[in-house]
Chain A
Amino acid sequence: MMEKMIFGRYVPADSTVHKMDPRSKLLIIFLFVCIIFLANNWITYALIGVYTFYMLGMSRIPVRFLYGGLKPVLWLVLFTLILQLLFTKEGNLLVEWGPIKIYEEGVRQGVFISLRFFFLILMTSLLTLTTSPIEITDGLETLLNPLKKIHFPVHEMALMMSISLRFIPTLMQETDKIMKAQMARGVEFSSGPFKERIKAVIPLLIPLFVSSFKRAEELAVAMEARGYRGGEGRTKYRQLSWKAADTLQLVVLAILTILLFLLRA
């Protein structure tokens, strides 16, 4: 159970996408999520598909990792597809089988929406598969920096996010340890009546909260002892560098956007 909870499915590799600046990757994903809604016919969906596979190919991520990202939504996709097939009643009648009638428009809509799901999930997976969580946080912090002008605490948000990311594995181990300790005392987490299982959460949560506050206190003291005083004038260990490849990929995305505008119905 603990295996699949590991945050960040980051797969280190030596590829163009891995080497790209996290800022450009975040921008590309954000814009991709916006422009995918422009697609509304076969050509535009095919274009989006070509682009998605072009990015995936460049990232050299093994297929099984991509499948891992898709697996949780497969049922949702299937569900939506069936819903579309059964409830859209436009276009020519294709199949009639007792009370079930499938129309042309239903097939079209169903396929389009499923494709959109797949492309969206694949592209967001691409971000988390090729970018380490710490890079994502750094990228977000730099991208959102202009918001400091309106007194949005960008640095503090990034700090909390990186602390959170850092402690997910630690707290997961902690949870595992507490669960085993409680199981040794006879607590049942995975069987027994619903009410008992809910109650079993309490002896799990209390030690978890107490120990995480202890950790927080230690970390806060350590940070203050080392002179942490917020984001003002702070220098960075990891420097982000915008390269030619980043600009190139944004240009490719811009071309895709223009093509989508020209070819959409």
Chain B
Amino acid sequence: MKEMKKLSVMAYVSIGMLSSIAYLLMLLNFPLPLFPNFLFVDFSDIPALLAALIFGPVAGVLVEFLKNLLNYFATGSPTGVPVGHIANFLAGIVFVLPTYFVYNKLKSKKGMTIALITGSITMAIVMSILNYAFILPAYTVLMGFPDMRNLVVPAILPFNILKGVMMSLIFMLLFVRMQTWITKFSTVKNA
């Protein structure tokens, strides 16, 4: 939280804007063919990743948080406790943070590819574990669904890998076009 105090007004405003974009992208979600249709893909982690690259990891976490907070207020949650939003928030963080830290060490186009692969793998593994341990049991308790933990290996894991690959591809396409722009912005971030 100390890091927060150091963020500039420009950072606060940009995080706000990126959260709006993330919120809009979150609404444009779609299910993947062949997967159970409570698993949705959206590209709302891309603004969060951009925020992390430009303003640091805290900014990435903030975009993920605000996006889910806005979505919760806009749509509500039938579970009361927003399990889906918490899951989305965690998935975003475990994708954005590893990607950011690996890229920060390597700082090149190739480094970004490795970073995105790391991020996708971390997300797939951590989300599988979290789904098994907390998220799916929470749905069983709150919504009276039957025990769905046997879905982790056939559905959750491949779904998250696919989601990671799709996001990585899109981000890579964005990154090659915006790299100079991103570096320019991140050098003036605390001006």
Q: Mark A1-31, 1 if CB is under 8 A from B, else 0.
A: 0000101110000000000000000000000
Nearest residue, chain B, Cβ from A8: B74
Q: Is A253 engaged at the interface, CB distance under 8 Å to the other chain? A: no
Report how far A172 CA is from B74 CA in the complex, Å: 15
Q: Is A136 engaged at the interface, CB distance under 8 Å to the other chain? A: yes
Nearest residue, chain B, Cβ from A77: B78
Complex contact A201–B74 (CB within 8 A): no
Q: Mark A70-96, 1 if CB is under 8 A from B, else 0.
A: 001100110010011001000000000
Q: Mark A156-177, 1 if CB is under 8 A from B, else 0.
A: 1101111111111001100100
Interface size class of A (residues with CB under 8 A): 35 or more
CB proximity of A174 to chain B, nearest CB, Å: 9
Stretch at the interface among B17-25, B109-117, B120-128, B130-138: B17-25
CB proximity of A38 to chain B, nearest CB, Å: 12
Which residues from A are CB-within-8-Å of B75?
72
Which residues from A are CB-within-8-Å of B86?
none
Q: Is A100 engaged at the interface, CB distance under 8 Å to the other chain? A: no
Which residues from B are CB-within-8-Å of A208?
21
Complex contact A163–B17 (CB within 8 A): yes
Complex contact A153–B16 (CB within 8 A): no
Nearest residue, chain A, Cβ from B72: A124
Q: Is A46 engaged at the interface, CB distance under 8 Å to the other chain? A: no
Which residues from B are CB-within-8-Å of A202?
170, 173-174, 177
Complex contact B13–A83 (CB within 8 A): no
Report how far A84 CA is from B62 CA in the complex, Å: 38
Q: Which of A72, A73, A201, A205 has the most CB of B within 10 A?
A: A205
For chain B, what secondary structure do more than half of its interface residues adopt (helix, strand, loop), or is it mixed? helix
Q: Is A44 engaged at the interface, CB distance under 8 Å to the other chain? A: no
Stretch at the interface among A220-228, A233-241, A244-252: A220-228
CB proximity of A6 to chain B, nearest CB, Å: 9
Q: Mark A195-211, 1 if CB is under 8 A from B, else 0.
A: 00011011001101110
Q: List 4 tightest A-B contacts by C-beta distance, closest first.
A: A163-B16, A124-B76, A220-B10, A216-B14
Residues on A close to B: CB < 8 A? 5, 7-9, 33, 36-37, 69, 72-73, 76-77, 80, 83-84, 87, 109-110, 113, 116-117, 120-121, 124-125, 127-128, 133, 136, 151-153, 156-157, 159-168, 171-172, 175, 198-199, 201-202, 205-206, 208-210, 212-213, 215-217, 219-220, 223-224, 228
Given contacts A9-B74, A36-B80, A209-B50, 9 further A-B contacts (CB under 8 A): A33-B80, A125-B76, A163-B13, A164-B20, A167-B20, A201-B170, A212-B21, A213-B185, A224-B9
